[in-house]
Amino acid sequence: MKLKIAFVCTGNSCRSQMAEGWARHLGSDVLEVYSAGTHPTDRVNEHAVEVMKEAGVDLSSHYPKTLEDIPFEIDILIKMGCGVVCPFVPNKYEEDWGLEDPVGKPIDEFRKIRDIIKSKTIELMEKVRNGSYV
């Protein structure tokens, strides 16, 4: 049985979308992956799509979602570092990755955040696969 994981931030336009992309790319065998925003924007940030494409992950069909668009109960909740209090989402395990939002910054900042998210996702996948995520 796959674990349900949700990546949550404010706009669901960049960090949480990149995390969803990485988790689907690296862990679709063990995870059912979602992302959402507390105040979703109207589209995924074009720089996020571009830098993920550079890394071989396609976000072109992704769109911002609300918390109501994800399952009510999640096994693993990852907060991206929204700087706001996220509404309570029932979960078994939770982390706050505390990542700075690159929106409005040069594309190299998106690449840095992309690579940090990839690294954190790989670490999380190792925990999930060996059963030590809790």
Is residue 86 annotated as part of the catalytic site, yes or no?
A: yes
Name the 3-class secondary structure at 121: helix
- Choose the catalytic residue: 67, 78, 80, 82: 82
Phi, psi of 76 (to 5 degrees): -125, 125
- Residue among 6, 8, 9, 117 flagged as catalytic: 9
42: DSSP letter: S
Give the CA dihedral 21, 96, 77, 35, nearest 10 degrees. Answer: -30
Q: Is 82 a catalytic residue?
A: yes
Question: Of these residues, 86, 99, 117, 124, which one is catalytic?
Answer: 86
Residues marked as catalytic: 9, 82, 86
